[in-house]
Chain A
Amino acid sequence: MYSAFLENQVPTAYGYDAERLKGLLSAVIVQNVQPGVWDWLQEKAGTTASVGQFNTAFVLIPRKTGKAVIQLTEEQNQNIQSTRKGFSIKGWTIDRLARVWLVLQLDTSDQDRYFRMIENLFLAAEMNELVALYSALPVLAYPELWKARCSEGIRSNIGDVLLAIICNNPYPSEYLSDAAWNQLVMKAFFTEKPIRQIYGLDQRANQELAKILTDYAHERWAAHRPIHPQLWRCVGKFINEDNFNDIKRVAGSADETEQKAALLACHDSDFLLAKELLEQHPEEKAAIEGGVLTWEGIE
């Protein structure tokens, strides 16, 4: 019986259990707004709402919900992350969450219409709306459709908008091409975003990105400007005869964090000279192998 039910089930447009996620998000919203506000949201999300009403509701949300940072339990946080891997609402404001929730209520049966509705929200969005919309990318239906929009978002110069795409957002690492991904990482360094919050940074490391970032490091050295030590995290697996001198230079830095970063990069590398360099620092090598010194500890 059960397997027959599964076979007959209509496949959803989402790549995860969207119904479960909606339920979890609803519960968080309910505990963070006044009862009247929750009723208002449900009314606006109903199937009888017109396109115009939906768009206006999306804009009006902060006037109803306020903009306080949401309270949620650790259990809720974990349930959300297990439903859509990498998706986190921790630290969000209530208007941001309610906007993402509202977009999740859209009818997905007509793919073109669904795409146009959301794309139009992007076109007329103010700053906070853009933050909410880009945070919604990993939970939207038809995930393949949003690659160009995500790449476009990376071109933004508005700090909060970039943060919403770059940090704690699983969509870019899952769907962007190498070129767009590399642009995201480069832009994160260039605009001084918290690198450790980039989801999938290690998994998406690639030869081309390592080259772009070492070139960038050379520019910074030429300008006598500091280099973020996490930059070498993206280079480790691709250390070769061309960039090994850079690693040596960083390992010989007067700054202890830079030294550690260079040795962590060496540990990630199969390049013989890098292995030898790490051997020359038995204390750090032991710390790395013992899990005491990790990239998470480098800032």
Chain B
Amino acid sequence: MCCSHNFNEEGLAAGKRETFSIESVKGMQFFDPHVHMTSRTTDDYQAMADAGVVAIIEPAFWLGQPRTGIDTFRDYYSSLVGWERFRSSQFGIKHYCTIGLNSREANNEPLAEQVMEILPLFIYKEGVVGIGEIGFDDQTAAEEKYYRLQLELAKEAGLPVQIHTPHRDKKRGTTRSMDIALEHGLDPHMVIVDHNNEETVKEVLDRGFWAAFTIYPFTKMGNERMVEIVKQYGSERIMINSAADWGISDPLAVPKTAALMIEKGINYGDIRLVTYQNAITAFGQSGQINEADFAAVKEIDQTQKFAGNTVLRGGQQPRVDKSSMIIR
């Protein structure tokens, strides 16, 4: 999730502008392990599919304003395994999710109690690849309580954990998140620590956790910095995501960063690990990711569409020519 941010026009004007061409990553496949598609349009889905994104993970998060009742939580979780999954399939993208109570809303304790009661209904669903995104925001006592409870839930269900690290007091918050996970007996190999930066990455890797980086303008990582990190730390246990949501963010962050990495001379094997394979290895520990499904979600729809028959899958969304003034 993101915080509110101010635009810095000087920042936008500075630096040279380079145009991203999907030709530069043609034939490559990407897995974006953190993107909030609920907040995005169908144009984004099409652009992602065109740029080679074959599968995504949508973590349960804060919707921009607090929920006031349990039913809205239930409906949100249900939409992550239902409607959004279907919407994604229409664009040939395999959709997974992580389910959890986010840190901000953990501060509403009466509601948080009720959310904890319904989580078991959702975490065993098909395509739920972890408990997430959970962790600290303000680092309050309530946040800690529900973080711990959800770590226990993950352990019981044998699911990976996707940890959101705070924007403020990030370094200490990240350390504390890892300390608590170890205290609860979690294997660091089952824990993905998200939103890392130059200050946090070393400790996360040294302690055996997965280090995820969010390429997100203004508030998180830029992809030029990301290139430097891969140059310094390599590709082991490192993955990148867009965390695109309702803020100024970029659902093409993963393919764009891959393109930049190619340009900066990072080898193809390392690029593949950080933009595709590592996320699958980490979240695949849930037993819920099957790479054959990435192709299936495309092929089933397309062959049936080509047969002039939209049976069985509901069919893919027809493409429209965006540059045309005529709308039919």
Residues of A within 8 A of B77 (CB): 124
Task: Please determine whether A191 and B124 come into contact, CB atoms closer than 8 angstroms.
Answer: no
Contact status of A62 and B126, CB under 8 A, knowing A124-B74, A157-B83, A159-B314: yes
Contact partner of A127 (CB less than 8 A), chosen from B82, B124, B309, is: B82
Contact partner of B82 (CB less than 8 A), chosen from A52, A56, A130, is: A130
Cα A251 to Cα B113 with chains together (Å): 65
Contact partner of B125 (CB less than 8 A), chosen from A59, A123, A157, A160, is: A59
Cα A55 to Cα B125 with chains together (Å): 11
Q: Which of B104-158 contact A (CB under 8 A)?
A: 118, 120-122, 124-127
Interface of A is mostly: helix
Q: Which of A110-137 contact B (CB under 8 A)?
A: 123-130
Give the A interface residue count (CB, 8 A): 25
Task: Please determine whether A127 and B312 come into contact, CB atoms closer than 8 angstroms.
Answer: no
Taking the complex as formed, is A163 at the interface, i.e. its CB lies under 8 A from any CB of chain B? Answer: yes
Q: How large is the interface on B (under 10, 10 to 19, 20 to 34, 35 or more residues)?
A: 20 to 34
Contact status of A160 and B314, CB under 8 A, knowing A124-B78, A126-B82, A130-B82: yes
Task: Please determine whether A127 and B81 come into contact, CB atoms closer than 8 angstroms.
Answer: yes
Cα A73 to Cα B86 with chains together (Å): 32
Q: Which of B26-82 contact A (CB under 8 A)?
A: 74, 77-78, 81-82
Taking the complex as formed, is A281 at the interface, i.e. its CB lies under 8 A from any CB of chain B? Answer: no
Task: Please determine whether B78 and A158 come into contact, CB atoms closer than 8 angstroms.
Answer: no
Cα A155 to Cα B299 with chains together (Å): 27
A116 CB to closest chain B CB (Å) equals 14
Taking the complex as formed, is B295 at the interface, i.e. its CB lies under 8 A from any CB of chain A? Answer: no
A112 CB to closest chain B CB (Å) equals 21
Task: Please determine whether A56 and B311 come into contact, CB atoms closer than 8 angstroms.
Answer: no
Contact status of A158 and B311, CB under 8 A, knowing A59-B124, A62-B126, A126-B126: no
Cα A231 to Cα B312 with chains together (Å): 21
Contact partner of A194 (CB less than 8 A), chosen from B78, B126, B127, B311, is: B311
Using A56-B124, A126-B125 as known contacts, list a sample of 7 further A-B pairs with CB atoms less than 8 Å apart, ordered by residue number in A.
Answer: A59-B121, A63-B126, A124-B121, A158-B314, A159-B86, A159-B313, A194-B311
Chain B: residues with CB nearer than 8 A to chain A? 74, 77-78, 81-83, 85-86, 118, 120-122, 124-127, 287, 309-315
29 of the cross-chain contacts (CB-CB < 8 Å) are: A55-B121, A56-B124, A59-B124, A60-B124, A62-B126, A63-B287, A123-B74, A124-B78, A125-B78, A125-B82, A126-B78, A126-B127, A127-B81, A127-B85, A127-B86, A128-B126, A129-B125, A130-B82, A158-B82, A158-B86, A159-B86, A159-B313, A159-B314, A160-B86, A160-B312, A160-B313, A162-B314, A163-B314, A193-B311
